[in-house]
Amino acid sequence: MRLSVIGCGCVGVVTAVCFAEIGYDVICFDHNEEKINDLQKGRINIYEPGLKELLKENLQKGRIKFTISLEECVNFGDVIFITVGTPLLLDGNLDVSQIELLAKQIGHFVNGEKIIAIKSTVPAGTSRLIQEVIDSNNKTYHKCSVISCPEFLREGLAISDTFNMERVVIGTDDPCIANLIEKLYSSFSKNFVHTNWETAELIKLASNAFLATKISFINEIANICDKCGADVTKVALGMGLDSRIGVSYLKAGIGYGGSCLPKDTVASVKSAEDMGYDFEILRSAINVNKKQLLKPIELLLDALRVKDLSGKVIAVLGLSFKPDTNDIRNSPSLPIIKRIFELGGTVNAYDPVAIPEVKKIFPVVNYYSEIDDAISGADAVLILTEWDHIKKFDYGKISALMDNPLIIDGRNILSLEEMEKYKVNYYSIGRTALFSN
């Protein structure tokens, strides 16, 4: 069996290299010629641990190639994965027009029996629509079957998530195709959920809605902890050890960001609304998240006992929406930097990989490749991403770098004991604040 992948974003390239790694011949299409030329040379602008190495290795072995010809891509594979983006439209719906356009072209190019596996996140009903579009454009006698095969990988962990999938969801009414896809994925997972198109599509959206709700839930608990002197990290542990609850996605902080949770939650609310249903819990989770994103600014103004930040230098540590990625889409760092500027402050920023991305949006931030330099002379430090470099920094030297050390830890990564020892004014999310002076 040969495989094709349409769309060379994170999901597409990771899917392609992982299947190539286990021995499949894979071709990938993208209409961006520059991206394709780079990928063919082993160059990739996504920072994803292990991805570049796997790409280079499989290019060398000749198992993976890249093309700007959609026809070549469609002709090559028996299974064609669609991994193009489904951005949010202004009305809150996911834009599936790229997939619709592809469906017309695929219908036109079909040269044999094909399985079209939709991995992009789409509203319930999309696979059905795409099957109709392909069928009405397919002038051959070759069967072209659409399946829904949603992707659950996390950025920064994409390779390991692919090689160790907790489940593979296969949406199709055709048992032969379902078995074939199960075999294809058997090296990656032992758990398969066989279902119809709409259920598979909804599993993806419901999963992201649940994760977002879990995060907003613990963030609200953190805010309650602040009111009553409890410690949210211990509350989360005490709750999470109950196997019905589970410890994951209970890290309180400055809210969820990224390319998926913010977009998919809004889309789920809108899609439910279009069906005549008010997805109340998720609406609340989204609102809680919006407020939580600016929590560090609230803490900062309180701690400095000021109403604005004029004359203040704020060191921002971490710009990407989470560690091990250079992705800044919906990163809390963006509204926070914007707000610091609105309040008249100056920003010194550190991030190990995401500076070039943020520079395009905020050219006037002072960027530093070393934490010491970003902190030096600052009035306050905001920790926004839990990068290892930021966790492991020697905060023992902070009083040599700052006159009056103040840290607002938006990710609860530093130890209260250490901060007390180093005489730092330290605020975190849902844990006791420390005032050394």
Interacting residue ranges for ligand UDX, rule: CB under 6 A: 151-155, 208, 211, 215, 249-251, 253, 256-258, 260-261, 321-322
Residue 88 marked in a binding site: no
Sole residue written with tokens 């000021």? 306
Sole residue written with tokens 């560090």? 296
CA-to-CA dists, residue 336 to 22, 60, 121, 378, 386, angstroms: 43, 43, 28, 16, 16
Q: Within 10 A of 356 (CB to CB), how many other CB atoms are there?
A: 12
d(C-alpha 105, C-alpha 113), whole Å: 15
| DSSP β-bridge partners for residue 316 | 349, 382
Question: Catalytic: which of 10, 18, 225, 260?
Answer: 260
Identify whether the C-beta of residue 265 lies closer than 8 Å to the C-beta of residue 255.
Answer: no
The nearer residue to ligand UDX, 127 or 289, going by C-beta atoms, is: 289
d(C-alpha 187, C-alpha 165), whole Å: 9
Residue 61 marked in a binding site: no
The nearer residue to ligand UDX, 114 or 214, going by C-beta atoms, is: 214
Identify whether the C-beta of residue 14 lies closer than 8 Å to the C-beta of residue 159.
Answer: yes
d(C-alpha 86, C-alpha 348), whole Å: 34
Torsions phi, psi for 303 (to 5 deg) = -65, -40
Residue 107 marked in a binding site: no
Residue 121 marked in a binding site: yes
d(C-alpha 20, C-alpha 23), whole Å: 5
d(C-alpha 273, C-alpha 418), whole Å: 49
Q: Is residue 10 annotated as part of the catalytic site, yes or no?
A: no
The nearer residue to ligand UDX, 284 or 399, going by C-beta atoms, is: 284
Residue 204 marked in a binding site: yes
Residue 250 marked in a binding site: yes
Torsions phi, psi for 132 (to 5 deg) = -65, -45
| DSSP β-bridge partners for residue 65 | 27
In the annotated binding site for substrate, the residues are 152-155, 204, 249-253, 257, 322
In the annotated binding site, the residues are 30, 35, 86, 121, 152-155, 204, 249-253, 257, 263, 322, 329
In the annotated binding site for NAD(+), the residues are 30, 35, 86, 121, 155, 263, 329
So which residues are the catalytic ones? 260
